Amino acid sequence: MSEPLDPAMFDDCGDVLGPVRIGDKWTARILVCLKDGRRRFSELQVPLRGITPKVLTESLRAAERDGFVERHAYPEIPPRVEYEITDLGRSLLGVMETTCAWTAAHLTELIRARQAYLDRTAS
């Protein structure tokens, strides 16, 4: 039998939520789009096919809030805004690369496991 779980195992984490946004559908992709330099909103929309302007705005604001992205607004007419990855956001790129490599190596197993689960629970 396994040892009981330590009730204090997450005490060091405090009440601050982790950077959950990196696990959503868009944040990691946005950071990859910004890795080579500043980009405008319309430039980000091109490779992020399927993202609505509302969701892109929400994702950029959340990434800015979490310190992954910096927003640069220029007082021009029409207004110009650019987004840039921060050092903190850049530090996630290696983690994301590792995750992508793991996914590529195990995708077939993952799909097989999901299908087996669906087959078991469908009846």
Q: 61: which 2 tokens?
A: 């604001």
- Residues of the chain below pLDDT 50: none
pLDDT for 49 equals 87
pLDDT computed for residue 4 by the predictor: 79
Kindly list the domain boundaries of the chain, sorted by start residue: 11-89
8 CB-side CA count, 13 A: 1
pLDDT digits (tens, 9 = 90+) for 63-93: 999 999 999 999 999 989 999 999 999 999 9
Q: What is the pLDDT, as a whole number, of residue 83?
A: 98
In this structure, are residues 47 and 31 in contact, taking their beta carbons and an 8 Å threshold? no
116 residue type, one letter = A
Phi, psi angle pair for 3, to nearest 5°: -70, 145
Over pLDDT 70: what percentage of the chain? 88
Domain 11-89 has CATH 1.10.10.10: yes
What is the pTM assigned to this prediction? 0.77
pLDDT for 15: 59
